[in-house]
Amino acid sequence: MGFKADGLAKLEQDLKAYVAERQPPGLVALVARGGETHAWPLGTMTLEGGQPVPRDAIFRIASMTKPIVAVAAMMLVEDGKLKLDEPIDRLAPELADRRVLKRPDGPLDDTVPARRPITLEDVLSFRLGWGIDFNAQAPFVKAVGDLPGFGMPTPSAPYTPDSWMKALGALPLQAQPGERWLYTTGANVLGVLIARAAGQPLEAVLRERVLEPLGMKDTAFHTPPQKADRLITGYMNEGGKLVPFEPYNDMFLKAPSFPAGDSGLVSTADDFGAFARFMFTGLAPDGRRLIEAETLKAMTTNRLTPAQMKDGELFLGPGRGWGLGLGVQVTASPHGVQPGAYGWDGGFGTSWFNDPAKRLTAVLLTQRVFDGPDPPPVHKAFWRDAYGSLA
């Protein structure tokens, strides 16, 4: 269960070719299988050159935050502090007695009663009834313009968990609970539920239950001053050229007032590699069991109907469903990711999958923001090459 030297060489060669084109300017890639790990820090910390990317460069992992937060939630399920089938009203009274829009693009007061309460499983499976809608003219989309969880990550948003829930609670659902897969908002609701169930801030729960036990020493909701030189500069495409992705770069240098469960973390390749290895076993590096194997199986099993997968394909991609807090490949992707693989991508330039059948982990962290839900070519080449490197 190892790698082929020529396969690893091709993987490295292809990554270097993209970096040579400055698409992206820098990256850290990691593949692991069994006890064997290979990592490639390539390129420079800025588009103009400067410092080479170190292996422990810190990246904004955006939506790769979601699986980490989901694991913390499932640990609380095992503790009995949360229940998958329980309505969330007990911990989120702001979200009780929901009304639902008759039409997603209709007036905010043209609603019907929700047929049932939102459950924790709805939240984790992104079927709670809220999510991103690209119809900029819809009254609902206009109403959530500054709310975290309905668009790009906004670490400077002036909300606290409580004020965000209050603002959310003033809005109708876009769909009936359980009806549609809608992207991202559920992970922010989940973060608040975790904090309330545990009686601690979300960042404290993640640190105590996941990050410290796994040795993820550089993963947090911001980068402290002593590590700031390792926070890589982000870039986005503007008219065919890469430009600095401001103002987000500086926003990750201070703790947010709203720690976003859908997108708020920064991390490194080795930190996320440790999380990925943990997802195979549920064990900490010292052998302690942190979560049951049955729970991980439940998380990494697709819960969506074929119709829900098709409805969510813009974000999910072809043949991919959703488990509890992460994507699950149901049929082979066009880029070679095999059925049963699970993981997720981050729109600020990152991607990850585990393939349990192959015992393969593949993590690619770049600072090149996606132009849309579909990842840039370097990620797709990396996924193919990761499989091609297997012995």
Tens-digit pLDDT profile for residues 140-172: 999 999 999 999 888 889 999 999 999 999 999
Q: What is the pLDDT of residue 222?
A: 96
Q: How many CB atoms lie within 10 A of CB 135?
A: 11
Categorize the per-residue pLDDT at 332 as very low, low, confident or very high, splitting at 50, 70 and 90. very high
User: Could you give the CA distance from residue 179 to residue 385 in angstroms, rounded to a whole number?
Assistant: 37
CA 354 to chain centroid, in Å, comes to 14
The answer to whether domain 5-64+221-388 and domain 71-198 are alike in fold is yes
Per the prediction, the chain carries an average pLDDT of 96
Q: What is the pLDDT of residue 337?
A: 97
Q: What is the pLDDT of residue 247?
A: 67
Q: What is the pLDDT of residue 359?
A: 98
Categorize the per-residue pLDDT at 49 as very low, low, confident or very high, splitting at 50, 70 and 90. confident
Q: 249 pLDDT exceeds 80? A: no
Q: What is the pLDDT of residue 1?
A: 81
Categorize the per-residue pLDDT at 185 as very low, low, confident or very high, splitting at 50, 70 and 90. very high
For 64-83, the pLDDT digits (tens) are 999 999 999 999 999 999 99
Categorize the per-residue pLDDT at 248 as very low, low, confident or very high, splitting at 50, 70 and 90. low
- Give the residue-averaged pLDDT of 178-197: 98
Q: What is the pLDDT of residue 255?
A: 95
Q: 246 pLDDT exceeds 90? A: no
For the chain, the straight-line distance linking the first and the last C-alpha, in angstroms and rounded, comes to 7
* CATH architecture assigned to 71-198: 3-Layer(aba) Sandwich (3.40)
Categorize the per-residue pLDDT at 338 as very low, low, confident or very high, splitting at 50, 70 and 90. very high
Preceding amide of 93 cis, omega within 30: no
The alpha helices in the chain, defined as continuous H runs, are: 5-20, 65-79, 120-124, 139-143, 161-169, 185-198, 202-206, 248-251, 269-281, 293-299, 306-311, 313-316, 377-388
Residue type for position 359:
R
User: Environment class of residue 167 by beta-carbon count within 10 Å: exposed (0-12), middle (13-18) or buried (19+)?
Assistant: middle
* CATH architecture assigned to 5-64+221-388: 3-Layer(aba) Sandwich (3.40)
Domain range list for the chain: 5-64+221-388, 71-198
